[in-house]
């Protein structure tokens, strides 16, 4: 899933999992690393990745891939849904604890294979808040720590809690939103690491330690141990971190960050991404190394990088794990079985403005990229979309005899271009081009160009749109862009979908 160096290189490129992959949580089993991320309103939920070197990651599944595991009401808002998983390995099994803010609250899942299947949820009605963490002490007690920062002892098999919920640390004085707690037993201390300052430009990582998992906890005198607030660093919003130890004894941190582009205030469109940084220890405290876009490689051979899925001909029996839909994915409305080697989408909502629209897409992972699809709309209406949420999306839609481009920006929605086309399937195309030179301080991070390809491959651009309106700084929320296919009427068939990175 990443565009990173191959074996034999001395550096790697951050982010290690680009695109909308926030709130990373990591664990190691032997020489294998596993990582999970938040998924919010998308189904299936909680993408799970595997790596042998911490740098190259391959998505091996989604933990929540059945309606019995993930209930997202059709009227639930974007940036709701699944928040901040914690992934751990203990007593021969994998444990995943997560919050569904749109319906079921905190839940716990288990698996013997992180690729799945994962269990149905164990409800945690007495665990309050969000961002739950799991840690086990030497006596077998399981401690659940949540944003706030509070803690309760838990039976992870039944969900029963023991004793009162109690606050254990409030974070740094004056810092808002102490969240994303992770508790570790390292050496003589229990370390409690949190994010604070909010998940925007003031995001940071702080840590405290105590002699027991219950505390009391003393804060690190060097807090925050990582932040880029108030700097011109190309990686911003750094926080929501997790620690892992390599088999050689070295320590590493995964965390979220963003790469703003354009002028002022800087717009990030790919969402919060997963970054990697080394950690040393001094005087019993972690010292975070330099977080950079190009960093020294770990002191072990890098595995060959995974081949990013680019073209999908829909010739498999089911969709690959990187495909996501909105809130649910009924089999009759999204299927590769109705027409062999085609993906068929059957419309529910009438447009991308609707929370129940039939949409299937993949995360945008490159600042510049190209998306193409061959679309047959003889039985309906649909096309390609660049989506941030229901109020912020650009669509190129085909119907019998016409292609049109629509832009939705907040309360405004308009058709910005149209063109007649002959009957039959049509190739729709979206080019996203990062801006290299600022014309003034208001220059957006990229341009979204929408059009069609003629039978001879000639690209006919219908319009060019400013990409900053499909950014978190404009739309709000916690997600990033997803590029995909939709049906707005009847049944729409897609022969293939091609995603081409264009980053230099």
- Determine how β-strand 412-420 pairs with β-strand 402-409: antiparallel
- The span from the CA of 14 to the CA of 28, in Å, is 20
475 assigned to some structural domain: yes
Whether 281 and 352 share a structural domain: no
pLDDT digits (tens, 9 = 90+) for 460-498: 999 999 999 999 999 999 999 999 999 999 999 999 999
The residue count of the chain comes to 504
For residue 224, say if its preceding peptide bond is cis, omega within 30 degrees of 0: yes
Whether 193 and 235 share a structural domain: yes
Phi, psi of 120 (to 5 degrees): -70, 160
Q: Which residue has the tokens 């991308």?
A: 352
Q: Which of 268, 296, 324 is the last residue of a domain?
A: 296
Structural domain containing residue 440: 311-501
3 assigned to some structural domain: no
- The span from the CA of 184 to the CA of 200, in Å, is 26
What is the number of alpha carbons within 13 Å of residue 192 lying toward its C-beta?
32
Q: What angle do CA 177, 183, 187 make, to 5 degrees?
A: 140
The pLDDT, as a whole number, for residue 302 is 87
pTM over 0.85? The answer is yes
* DSSP-assigned letter for residue 120: P
Q: Judge whether 100 and 40 are in contact, CB under 8 Å.
A: no
Q: Which residue has the tokens 């709000």?
A: 476
CATH number for the domain spanning 81: value is 2.115.10.20
Query: pLDDT averaged over consecutive 10-residue blocks of the chain (504 residues)?
Result: 48 96 98 98 98 96 98 97 98 98 98 98 98 97 98 98 96 97 98 98 98 98 98 98 96 98 97 98 98 93 75 93 97 95 96 97 97 97 98 97 97 97 96 96 98 96 98 98 98 98 82
Q: Which two tokens stand for residue 441?
A: 């301080």
- The catalytic site residues sit at 23, 179
For 218-267, the three-class secondary structure string (H helix, E strand, C coil) is EECCCCCCEECCCCCCCCEEEEEEEEEECCCCCEEEEEEEECCECCCCCE
- The span from the CA of 56 to the CA of 406, in Å, is 37
2 assigned to some structural domain: no
The two most distant CA atoms of the chain are separated, in Å, by 73
Whether 323 and 352 share a structural domain: yes
Whether 369 and 283 share a structural domain: no
Element (H, E) at 473: helix 472-475
- The span from the CA of 44 to the CA of 334, in Å, is 13
Q: Which of 239, 262, 296 is the last residue of a domain?
A: 296
Q: How many folded domains does the chain comprise? A: 2
Element (H, E) at 475: helix 472-475
Nearest by Cα to 137 from 90, 207, 86: 90
The pLDDT, as a whole number, for residue 403 is 98
Whether 334 and 242 share a structural domain: no
176 assigned to some structural domain: yes
Whether 292 and 419 share a structural domain: no
6 assigned to some structural domain: no
Buried b (16+ CB within 10 A) or exposed e, 330-345: eeebbbbeeeeebbbb
Phi, psi of 453 (to 5 degrees): -110, 130
- The span from the CA of 238 to the CA of 413, in Å, is 34
Q: For residue 249, how far is the Cα from the chain centroid?
A: 29
pLDDT digits (tens, 9 = 90+) for 449-459: 999 999 999 99
The pLDDT, as a whole number, for residue 1 is 42
pLDDT digits (tens, 9 = 90+) for 207-236: 999 999 999 999 999 999 999 999 999 999
Whether 487 and 353 share a structural domain: yes
Whether 287 and 358 share a structural domain: no
Q: What percent of the chain has pLDDT over 70?
A: 97
The pLDDT, as a whole number, for residue 304 is 76
pLDDT digits (tens, 9 = 90+) for 9-29: 689 999 999 999 999 999 999
- Partners of residue 43 on adjacent β-strands: 325
Q: Which of 296, 320, 339 is the last residue of a domain?
A: 296
């Amino acid at each position: 899933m990443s565009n990173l160096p191959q074996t034999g290189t001395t550096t790697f490129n951050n982010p290690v999992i680009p695109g909308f992959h926030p709130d990373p949580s990591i664990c190691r089993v032997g020489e294998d690393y596993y990582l999970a991320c938040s998924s919010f309103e998308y189904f299936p939920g909680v993408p799970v990745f595997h790596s042998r070197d911490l740098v190259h990651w391959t998505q091996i599944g989604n933990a929540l891939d059945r309606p019995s595991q993930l209930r997202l009401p059709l009227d639930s808002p974007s940036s709701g849904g699944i928040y901040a998983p914690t992934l751990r390995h203990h007593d021969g099994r994998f444990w995943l604890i997560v919050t569904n803010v749109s319906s079921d609250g905190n839940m716990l899942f288990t698996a013997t294979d992180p690729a799945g299947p994962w269990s149905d949820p164990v409800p945690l009605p007495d665990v309050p808040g969000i961002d739950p963490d799991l840690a086990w002490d030497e006596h077998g007690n399981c401690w659940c720590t949540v944003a706030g920062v509070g803690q309760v002892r838990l039976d992870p098999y039944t969900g029963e809690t023991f004793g009162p919920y109690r606050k254990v640390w409030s974070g740094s004085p004056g810092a808002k939103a102490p969240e994303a707690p992770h508790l570790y037993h390292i050496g003589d201390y229990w370390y409690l690491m949190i994010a604070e300052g909010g998940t925007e430009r003031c995001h940071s990582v702080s840590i405290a330690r105590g002699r027991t998992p219950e505390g009391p906890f003393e804060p690190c005198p060097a807090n925050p141990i990582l932040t880029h607030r108030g700097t011109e660093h190309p990686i911003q919003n750094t926080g929501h971190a997790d620690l892992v130890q390599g088999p050689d004894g070295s320590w590493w941190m995964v965390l979220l960050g963003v790469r703003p582009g354009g002028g002022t205030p800087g717009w990030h469109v790919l969402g919060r991404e997963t970054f990697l940084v080394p950690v040393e220890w001094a005087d019993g405290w972690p010292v975070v190394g330099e977080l950079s876009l190009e960093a020294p490689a770990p002191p072990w051979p890098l595995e060959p990088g995974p081949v990013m899925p680019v073209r999908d001909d829909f010739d498999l029996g089911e969709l690959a794990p990187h495909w996501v839909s909105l809130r649910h994915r009924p089999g009759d409305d999204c299927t590769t079985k109705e027409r062999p080697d085609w993906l068929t989408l059957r419309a529910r909502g009438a447009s991308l403005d609707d929370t129940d629209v039939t949409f299937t897409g993949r995360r945008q992972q490159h600042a510049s990229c190209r998306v193409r699809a061959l679309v047959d709309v003889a039985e309906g209406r649909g096309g390609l979309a660049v989506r941030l949420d229901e109020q912020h999306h650009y669509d190129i839609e085909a119907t019998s005899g016409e292609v049109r481009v629509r832009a939705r920006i907040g309360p405004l929605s308009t058709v910005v271009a149209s063109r007649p086309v002959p009957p039959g399937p049509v190739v729709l195309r979206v080019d996203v081009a990062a801006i290299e030179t600022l014309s003034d301080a208001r220059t957006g991070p990229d341009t979204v160009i929408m059009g069609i390809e003629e039978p001879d491959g000639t690209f006919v651009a219908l319009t060019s749109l400013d990409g900053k309106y499909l950014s978190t700084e404009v739309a709000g929320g916690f997600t990033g862009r997803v590029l995909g296919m939709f049906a707005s009427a009847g049944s729409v068939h897609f022969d293939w979908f091609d995603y081409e990175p264009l980053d230099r």
